[in-house]
């Protein structure tokens, strides 16, 4: 977090409500102070600068956006156009969902649930979300499934024991099944 202003000095402390921020640094000119918000901070409305144990400045109306956390996805396998639901925390402020390299459209969201549509052309990959508060990703990839389609079979007539080759898309291997 970076706060701009003036008159900041080394030794100043930043607090978000009652949680003291970590790794506080003051710029050389004293016009900005930066700090890391610890994981234990889950909300906050007032940012306070303290010096020598006393509050010297504060700002109400501060909006703290916690980093999203993901705990599950359902289903584990989906085709393009299907909806996937994520469970977790702080999902109501998520602005972007990615599946591998593809960006997915958010269909609905609340603090604990987010649903998105698997984009056309997506491949199996990790689902990740981003918000102003940070990013989160699931460890297990979402398997993207494409239904196989047949474009041909050769030869069209065979005797028992002879080989038949089927061609098409989304078949095992190179698009041909023997």
89/113 same-domain check: yes
* pLDDT at residue 172, rounded to an integer: 66
Which domain does 119 fall in, by range? Answer: 69-144
What distance in Å separates the CA atoms of residue 118 and residue 77, rounded to the nearest whole number?
Answer: 10
125/89 same-domain check: yes
* pLDDT at residue 171, rounded to an integer: 73
53/25 same-domain check: yes
**64 belongs to a structural domain:** no
Q: How far lies 57's CA from each of 12, 17, 21, 35, 54, in Å?
A: 11, 13, 15, 16, 9
Q: What is the pTM of this model?
A: 0.66
> What is the token pair recorded at 96?
């972007």
For the chain, how many structural domains are there in total? 3
CATH number for the domain harbouring residue 129: 2.60.40.10
- Secondary structure, 3-state, 78-105: ECCCCEEEEEEECCCCEEEEEECCEEEE
Placement of tokens 């393009």 in the chain: 80
139/73 same-domain check: yes
32/83 same-domain check: no
CB 132 within 8 A of CB 64: no
136/73 same-domain check: yes
CB 13 within 8 A of CB 49: yes
* pLDDT at residue 148, rounded to an integer: 81
176/163 same-domain check: yes
Measured from the Cβ of residue 69, the count of other Cβ atoms closer than 10 Å reads 14
List the chain pLDDT tens, one digit each, 178 residues: 888 889 999 999 999 888 899 999 999 999 999 998 887 777 778 889 999 999 998 888 777 788 899 999 999 999 999 999 999 999 999 999 999 999 999 999 999 999 999 999 999 999 999 998 889 999 999 999 887 888 888 888 888 888 888 888 777 654 445 5
* pLDDT at residue 149, rounded to an integer: 80
83/112 same-domain check: yes
**91 belongs to a structural domain:** yes
| Residues whose CB falls within 8 Å of the CB of residue 76, separated by 6 or more in sequence, listed in order | 140, 142, 143
H-assigned helices in the chain: none
| Residues whose CB falls within 8 Å of the CB of residue 15, separated by 6 or more in sequence, listed in order | 21, 47, 48, 50
């Amino acid at each position: 977090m970076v706060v701009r202003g003036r008159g900041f000095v080394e030794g100043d402390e930043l607090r978000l409500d009652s949680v003291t921020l970590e790794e506080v640094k003051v710029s050389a000119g004293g016009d900005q102070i930066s700090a890391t918000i610890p994981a234990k901070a889950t909300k906050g409305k007032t940012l306070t600068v303290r010096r020598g144990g006393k509050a010297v400045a504060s700002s109400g109306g501060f909006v703290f956006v916690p980093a999203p956390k993901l705990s599950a996805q359902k289903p584990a396998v989906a085709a393009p156009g299907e909806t996937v639901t994520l469970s977790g925390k702080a999902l109501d402020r998520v602005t972007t969902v990615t599946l591998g390299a593809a960006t997915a459209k958010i269909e609905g969201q609340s603090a604990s649930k987010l649903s998105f549509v698997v984009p056309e052309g997506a491949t199996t990959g990790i689902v990740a979300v981003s918000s102003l508060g940070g990013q989160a990703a699931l460890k297990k990839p979402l398997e993207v499934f494409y239904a196989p389609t047949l474009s041909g079979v050769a030869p069209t007539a065979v005797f028992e024991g002879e080989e038949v080759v089927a061609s098409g898309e989304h078949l095992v291997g190179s698009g041909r099944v023997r």
